[in-house]
Each structure stands twice: as structure tokens, then as C-alpha cells.
Amino acid sequence: MAREFLNINNMKILVLGQGGREHAIAWKLSKSNDVTEVFVCPGNAGTSLEKNVTNVDINLNNHKEIIDFVKSNQINLTIVGPEAPLVDGIVNDFRNLDLKIFGPSKEFAELEGSKVFSKNFMAKNKIMTANYKEFCDPEAALNHLSEIKYPTVIKADGLAAGKGVTICNDDLEARKAIEKVFNSNHSEKLVIEDFLVGQELSAMYICNFSGPTFEISLPWTKDYKSRDEYNSGPNTGGMGAVIHPILDEHKNIIFKLHIEIEKILTKTILNINEQLKDTNMRYLGFLYLGLMIDADNNIKLLEYNCRMGDPETQNLMIYLENMKIDFLNLILENNHEGSRDYNLDYINEKKHYSCTIVLAANGYPNSYKKDFYVDLSEVNESENLKIFHAGTVIEDGRIKSTGGRILTVNTFGLDRQKCIDLAYVNVKKIRTFIDKEFKHEDNNLTFFREDIGG
């Protein structure tokens, strides 16, 4: 396999992050023949229990300590999971020292880090998106409310740990959302945009060392964003995911959508590289297009992420593993003839499926229950069934919940319904206790959506 910048067989890899996405990436990398050890910083209970995976207890904000760890442990490649370190410039810090890292530099990460930057980029490059206006003055934003229809969408400019987007149903909600943004420390600006209706689609790409126009298109996935069934309840980070969500469409429609999505990708990569050419860098890393497809199959871009999705990544990793696709090779190889596209593979009849269900703590996405214990002993993991942890730590040999999204149950199969059923049968086998002796079971500590795959 020709590799532009690394030619090492016994690789040591560091994955930055602690969620389900990072557990899935670390697990998949640990299966690669070229990898001897994977470190995850800081990781979770799931990563600490994986073979050949080790957690590293360093705060993600502490770039210097991470860099010292990379140097003293001869890490060959670092892969960045979440957006915050990218926006904080961890890639710039690594590259200044000639250390190998996979992710966009902070200038490129503005595509995710600033809604104003990304919306202006879309408008300038004629990428279809929701109509919007940006505001840096609360008065002007509030005055604008008399000119819009509801629902409307208010987006804080800066990163806000997944809480920056508010869908407002009336004037009162919109006023509160505007005040919240301007009273927070995260953003001095916001965007007010039209509410779009349709089916969401996550299109993720690996923009690797082969250069622009050679992006690898990972299979499309669908994230179930709202907390409750049938798109009701508040927006979350994602309550589940499935692969190839538009497979029931006619082939011609899939091809049309495919062409439209590729156009968005190409416009993005070429124009962002052009716009930031003075940095002497180009887009390198994962790129996520969050898309909305309306009833007439017109596509608009909702957002860019400069990372993989969560829980979409968990869904993809069990799929790639079962399809015998080496994720590390997708990041490192540079000898493919033209772009590689796993969606076209699918259209050409490889109808495999994967399903991901999030088990979340009651209360999520608002303040949620935590510090209880999770018993996974009745779940028998296999090639077709894998649990990826998110908000968990190990305490006295038990799995303790610490986060809103606790874990995902992930399944793979040829038959779509069987795959979904397997995930549901197993998520129901997970038991939760308020004590680490497992004497006091409490079934009201967690919840999951009942309609994933539907």
C-alpha cells in the first residue's frame, strides 16, 4: 500500500477524545494489522477494557502535555476525535513540531467552529443552505424577529458543546434564545435562519494525504437527532444511527442525490483550499456534511463538521469491520485510482446494514442522572454485536455512568429488520443499579428511542 507520509507497520496511534466515536475509532484501529497499540486520551470505560488499547489521563486542553506524551511514547500518528481541540489549534501545534496528526488546522476547522464563517462560506460559494442573517447586536437580532416566520433556528456563532442551535416555535422562545447566546461566553454573534423540513443525512469523508478530489466517501448514515420517537422532544447529539438511510428510494433518485452531494463536497474542498491558501495548508482530516433532503429530493447543507459524527461513527465502524475494510488504510493510503465511494458500492447491490441505538441517562439532553452502575453481563458481544461506551468510567471493577449518552448498542447484518431487532433485544438486556454491589436495580435511570431504523 503506497503511503505518502508514513511507512510503518508496527504503528502506535493516539486517539484524542472520550466519547462513543473515539471508542469505535480506537477499537477499529486496534484491529488493523499495521497497528500494535492504540492510546486514547482520555478514553472511557469501554476503551480501557479493549485489548491493545490504553487510556491516557491528560486533559484535552493541555496540548503541551499531549505533545510530550506523543514524543516520549513514539506515537506515529494522532487522530483527533472531537471538534474542540481542532478549533483550539492542536493540529497547528503538532505540525509546527513536525508531528503527524490527522485533522484540519484551526483555520479550516472554522467551518465547524464558526456558524457565521460557514454560512458566509456557503453563500459565497453558492452552496444551497437555509436562508439566514448574521447578527452581532442583540437589538438588531430582536428587531429581526418581526420579519420572520416560525419555527425559526437560532445558532450561536461559536462552539457550544452541542447546545448552540435552538429551534424556536414562537417569538418568546426566539427572544430567550437570542438573550442566552449574547449572555454566554461562547459567542458574540449569532445566525437566525429558516427552519428546513425533510430527512437529514450525514455524509462523511476522509480527506487524506492523496490531495483534493481524492476524498473517500464513507457510506451515508442517518442520525436520529431528537430525543423522542417520531422527531419529537428536544434536539440531542444523536439518539441512534443507521447506514444507507435512503436505500428504499429508486436508484435514479439515489444517483441524483449522490451527484448533488458530491458537488457540495467538491465546491467545499476546492474553495476552502483556495480561500485559505495563504496558510500553506489544505483540508486534511474528516469532513462531515450535515444535509437536509426535502420531499422533492432537493438538498440543502445544514452544517459542516470537521470530525466524524457521533453516533454515526459507531454505526460505521461495526459496518467497516464486518465488510473487512481497514479504516487506517483509508486514512493513510494514497494509491487509489480516483476517489473511492462506498455509497456506489451499495447502489451496486451490497445490501448490508448496521444499526446503532444510544442508551442515554434519564434527563438527557438536559441535566441527567449519573453515578449509577451498568451491568452488561447479559449482552454477548459477537462479530454482529458490539457495545461502544461514551459516558462511562471504571470504578472498583464496575462500569459507572458519568455522561448523558452512556453507550451505544451496534449491530450488523444482511437483513435489515433482523439487525434492528438484534440491537433492541440487546439494549433491553442492559441492567442498571444504584449500588456497585448490584443489589438495588433501578429501571428508571436510562432510556432509548424505540423507533431507530424506522
Residues engaged in binding ligand GLY (CB under 6 A):
223, 237-238, 305, 309-310, 312
Q: Which of 12, 95, 225, 418 is close enough to bind ligand AMP by CB under 6 A? A: 225
Helix (H) or strand (E) run with residue 345 in it: helix 342-347
| C-beta closer to ligand GLY: residue 108 or 373 | 108
303 lies in the binding site for ligand AMP (CB under 6 A): yes
Q: Is residue 155 within 8 Å of 167, Cβ to Cβ? A: no
The cell for 52 is 491493545
Provide the minimum distance between the beta carbon of 365 and ligand GLY in the complex, in angstroms, as a whole number: 12
CA nearest neighbour of 143 among 77, 209, 192? 192
Q: What is the three-class DSSP state of 247?
A: coil
Q: Which is nearer to ligand GLY, 37 or 200 (CB)?
A: 200
84 binds, among ligand GLY, ligand AMP, none (CB under 5 to 8 A by kind): none
Find out whether 184 and 176 touch, Cβ atoms under 8 Å.
no
Q: How far is the CB of 118 from ligand AMP (least distance, A)?
A: 8
Residue with cell 438538498: 299
Interface with ligand AMP includes 209 (CB under 6 A)?
Answer: no
Query: CA torsion angle for 9, 14, 20, 24 (degrees, to 10)?
Result: 0
CA 146 – CA 228 distance, rounded (Å):
31
User: With CB under 6 A as the contact rule, which of the stretches 90-98, 193-201, 333-341, 411-419 interacts with ligand AMP?
Assistant: 193-201
Cβ atoms within 10 Å, residue 103 = 24
Q: Is 358 in the site for ligand AMP (CB under 6 A)?
A: no
Q: Degrees (nearest 5) of the Cα angle 217, 219, 224?
A: 125
Q: How far is the CB of 278 from ligand GLY (least distance, A)?
A: 29
Greatest distance between any 2 Cα atoms in the chain: 62
| Dist. CA 178–CA 345, nearest whole Å | 45
195 part of the interface to ligand AMP, by CB under 6 A? yes
Nearer to ligand GLY, 22 or 312 (CB): 312
DSSP string, 28-81: HHHTSTTEEEEEEEE--HHHHHSTTEEE----TT-HHHHHHHHHHTT-SEEEE-
Q: Do residues 158 and 125 make contact, with C-beta atoms less than 8 angstroms apart?
A: no
Residue 310 found at the interface with ligand AMP (CB under 6 A): no
Q: Which does 326 bind (CB under 5 to 8 A by kind): ligand GLY, ligand AMP, none?
A: none
130 is an interface residue for ligand AMP by CB under 6 A: yes
**Nearer residue to ligand AMP within complex by CB, 12 or 225:** 225
Site for ligand AMP in 261-280 (CB under 6 A): none
Smaller CB separation from ligand AMP, 195 or 447: 195
CB 77 within 8 A of CB 102: yes
Q: Which of 79, 80, 153, 419 binds ligand AMP (CB under 6 A)?
A: 153
CB-wise, 235 or 329, nearer to ligand AMP?
235
Query: How far is CA 307 from each of CA 22, 85, 217, rounded to the nearest angstrom?
Result: 11, 11, 14
Binding ligand AMP (rule: CB under 6 A), the pick from 240, 245, 290, 309 is: 290
Stretch that binds ligand AMP, among 10-18, 60-68, 195-203, 209-217 (CB under 6 A): 195-203
Distance (Å, whole) CA 414 – CA 360: 27
User: And the C-alpha cell for 134?
Assistant: 448574521
Q: Which of 13, 40, 77, 165 is the binder for ligand AMP (CB under 6 A)?
A: 165
For ligand AMP, the binding residues in 380-409 under the rule CB under 6 A are: none
Is 125 an interacting residue with respect to ligand AMP (CB under 6 A)? no
Residue 235 in contact with ligand AMP, rule: CB under 6 A: yes
Q: Note the helical H segments in 114-183.
A: 115-124, 138-144, 171-183
Beta bridge mates, 39 = 14, 54
Q: Which is nearer to ligand AMP, 29 or 358 (CB)?
A: 358
Residues that bind ligand AMP (CB under 6 A): 130, 153, 155, 165, 193-196, 200, 225, 235, 290, 302-303
